[in-house]
Structure 1
Amino acid sequence: MSVLIAGAGIGGLTTALSLHAEGVDDVRVLEAVAEIRPLGVGLNILPNAVRELAGLDLLDDLLEVALPTGSLGYYNRHGQLIWREPRGLAAGYHWPQLSVHRGRLQAVLAEAVRRRLGPDALVTDARVEGFTPREDGGADVRVHHPSTGRRSVTAADALIGADGIHSKVRAALYPQEGPPPWNGLVVWRGTTLAPPFLDGRSMIIAGDDRRRAVVYPMSVPDGPGGAVLMNWAVARAADPEAVFEDADWNRAVAPETFLHHFADLAFDWLDVPALIRTAREAYVYPMVDRDPLPRWTHGPVTLLGDAAHAMYPMGSNGATQSIVDARVLARELASRDTPAAALAAYEAERLPALTRLQAGARRRGPEVVIDLAHERAPDGFEDVTEVFPGDELRDISAEFARLGGFDPETVNAPRPKAVPTGTGGPR
């Protein structure tokens, strides 16, 4: 079976490694850029995805470039704690939650692909532009090579569109869809070398119903009293005149152009404006997602990760769910009679759950507690239990975890043994 994967992001690379682990060896990943460089900022990988990466024997490599997250705390705009919960191993999972620079994670995955599948398995300067179904059930995939302008066609038994929110494969399947919808919020993201805060392994989300800041460390100190690599993201409603013609994660911006919007988010335990002011890099991005699709799979072609279900960055589910997608897809391709049957089974398992999760992210996911705290106590509180009675906070957090399939009971449960329905086709 020959498989082409469009996109060498987190989902595409994990798909290649997962297929190799399942015995599918004829796999190539096509990436549009000429050179894969460590771009981007931070990601949080939840334990359900870390479990899958551990199953690929990557956990030791990841722990060299990532930091296990110990807790997540939500705070109001005055810096008062609304809710804190343990994360990863501290929450009873069998696997950690990892905070990691996207570029470092991508580098680990890319190196593993080249080492395990061979240097020719990862092809750069090759953008998938579209495809034509073949009579034998596969697809002829059209490829553009940007550096030379050359175009080529290559045959595959299956084509996986893991090429992000601006997916060319998705556009070929849904040519009338148009650009991703924008909710009117703008996100500025960056990294800073700064002293640790709280216990050095805390992720925090702070703000009110108009502004939000997310901050977490991605490394241990570089020595006694040393700095850590800190990820930060701040968001607010866009100015009325703001225009974003293209949602590009790598649009650089000067910190002084937006710092004033968040100047008062300075607490005695964390100075958010100082992180922004001293950033090593900063990027601006409109908060966009994709509307849920009725289908991801069309014969030998399917979508994965952001190409299938791009969602707002609420609850650390972007990269996490693309990793889970990859593992499910690989298991199905290895056990079904035909690629079309495998891709249909993958969709049947993943699409309903991700459609629900996309809707949950549009409702701000667990971050809704910050909105509720501002609505109920805009000037702060003496006792948070007077603002959130009973188990309301716990229930909000637990419901989103169940929605995404990353509650401890689900993640720690033994995986049901697959029952192959066929030979999986030629390898």
Structure 2
Amino acid sequence: MSILIAGAGIGGLTTALSLHAAGRTDVRLLEAVPEIKPLGVGLNILPNAVRELAELGLLDELLAVSVPTGTLGYHNRFGQLIWREERGLAAGYRWPQLSIHRGRLQSVLAEAVRRRLGPDAIVTDARVEGFEPRPDGRVDVLVNHPAAGRASRTTADALIGADGIHSRVRARLHPEEGPPPWNGLVVWRGTTTAPPFLDGRSMVIAGDDRRRAVIYPMSAPEGPSGEVLVNWAVARAADPGAVFADADWNRAVAPETFLHHFADLAFDWLDVPALIRTAREAYVYPMVDRDPLERWTHGAVTLLGDAAHAMYPMGSNGATQAIVDARVLARELVRHDSPADALAAYEADRLPVLTRIQASARRRGPEVVIDLAHERAPEGFDDPAEVFPGDELQSISRDFARLGGFDPETVNTRPSLAAPTVTGGAR
């Protein structure tokens, strides 16, 4: 079975590695950029996805370039603690939660693909532009090579659209859809080298109903100064009349153009404006997602990751869910002789879960506690118990984890998602 993956991002690379682990080696990834570079900013990978990467034999490599997140704290705009919860191993998972630079994660995965599947498994300067089903059930794929100035065609038994929120594969399946819908919020993201804050393994989300800041370290202390690489993201409603032509994650921006919106988020334990002011890089983009689809799969073609279910960055579920998608998809491609049957089984497993998570993200997911704190105590509080009665905060966090099946009990006890190994080599 020949499998073509559009996109060599986190989901596409994990799919290739999962197929290889099961004995399928006729796998190619087509990546639009001429060269894969360590671009982007930070990601949090939840334990349910870290488990999958560990089963692929990558945990030690990832631990060397990431931080095992120990706690997550929600704070109001004054820096007062609303709710803190343990994360990863400290929360009872058998696997850690990892805070990592996207480029470092992609590099680890890409290098593993090249080692295991061969140096030609990832084809760069190759953007999937379209496809046509064949009478025999296979797929003819049109590929554009922008840097080379040419086009080509190839054929595969299955095509996986893992080409992101602007997926050409999705656009071919749903030509009426148009651009990703915008919720009116603007996000500025960047990285800064700075001294560790709190215990050096804490993720912090702070703000009110109008503004939000998400901060976490992504590296161990480096050099004589002991500084760490910090990811920061701040968001607020766009100014009236603001227009974004597209959702380009790599649109660079000068920190001074937006710093004033967050100038008062300076606490005695974390100075958010200082992180922004001293950024190594900063980017701006509109907060967009994709509307849930009724189906991802059409015959031997399906979608994965952001191409299938792009969502707002609430609850660390973007890359996490792409990794889980990849493992389930690979499992079904090995279990079934028919690609169409395999992709249909993958969709039946994943689409209902992701539709629920997408809807929760639009309601701000667990970050809703910050909105509630501002609504109930806009001038702050002495004790969060005055604002949140009983176990309300714990219930919000617990219910969100259970919604997506990434609570400790489920992650620790469910069967492995690893595909059964194909006997006698790849089929």
Q: Is TM more than 0.5 here?
A: yes
Alignment of 1:8-407 (within 5 A): 8-223=8-223, 225-407=225-407
Corresponding letter in the other structure for 2:247: A
Instruction: Summarize the Cα distance change of 1:189–1:289 in structure 2 as closer, same or farther, 3 Å threshold.
Output: same
Q: CA RMSD in A?
A: 1.5
Q: Return the offset for 1:51.
A: 0.2
Q: Identify if the C-alpha distance between structure 1 residues 335 and 96 changes in structure 2 by more than 3 Å, giving closer, same or farther.
A: same
Aligned to 1:61, the other structure's residue is in SS state helix
Supply the AA of the counterpart residue of 1:170: R
Quote the offset at 1:417 in angstroms. Answer: 8.6
**Letter of the structure 2 residue corresponding to residue 376 of structure 1:** R
Alignment-mate amino acid for residue 287 of structure 1:
M
**Cα displacement string for residues 14-48 of structure 1 (whole angstroms, at most 9, x for unaligned residues):** 01001111111100000000000111000000000
Supply the AA of the counterpart residue of 1:134.
R
Gaps of 5+ in 2: none
Letter in 2 for 1:51: R
Give how far 1:404 is off. 1.6
Q: State the alpha-carbon separation in 2 of the partners of residues 244 and 223 from structure 1.
A: 39
Deviation of 1:255 after TM superposition, in Å, equals: 0.2
Counterpart Cα distance in 2 of 1:425 and 1:342 = 19
CA distance 1:125–1:419, change in 2 (3 Å): closer
Aligned pair in 2 of structure 1 residues 426, 95: CA closer, same or farther (>3 Å)? Answer: closer
- Give how far 1:418 is off: 8.8
Listed one character per residue, the Cα deviations across residues 193-212 of structure 1 (whole Å, up to 9, x for unaligned) are 00000000000000000000
**Identity of counterpart residues, as a percentage?**
83
Q: Deviations over 1:343-384 (max 9, x none)?
A: 000000000000000000000000000000000000000111
- 2-side partners of 1:424 and 1:414: how far apart? 28
Shift of 1:337: 2.3
**1-structure distance, mates of 2:106, 2:233:** 20
Mapped contact 2:129–2:169 kept (Cα < 8 A):
yes
Report the number of matched residues.
426
| Secondary structure at the counterpart of residue 326 of structure 1 | helix
Partner SS for 2:120: helix
Structure 2 distance, partners of 1:425, 1:116, is 14
Post-superposition Cα deviations, 1:141-172, rounded to whole Å, max 9, x if no partner, equal 00000012211110000000000000000000
Give the superposition deviation at 1:222: 1.2
Describe the superposition over 1:278-328 as per-residue Cα deviations: whole angstroms up to 9, x where unpaired.
000000010000000010000000000000000000000000000000000
Shift of 1:264: 0.1
- Within 2, Cα distance between the matches of 1:133 and 1:168? 15
The residue identity in structure 2 corresponding to 1:34 is: P
Q: Retained in 2: the 8 A contact 1:189–1:234?
A: yes
Deviations 1:262-288 (Å, cap 9, x if unpaired)?
A: 000000000000000000000001000
> Shift of residue 419 of structure 1?
10
Deviations 1:110-138 (A, max 9, x none): 00000000011000000000100011111
Is the CA contact 2:131–2:140 (under 8 Å) kept in the aligned structure 1?
yes
State the TM-score, normalizing by the size of structure 1. 0.98
Q: Assess if the C-alpha contact under 8 Å between 1:184 and 1:287 holds in 2.
A: yes
Match of residue 4 from structure 2: 4
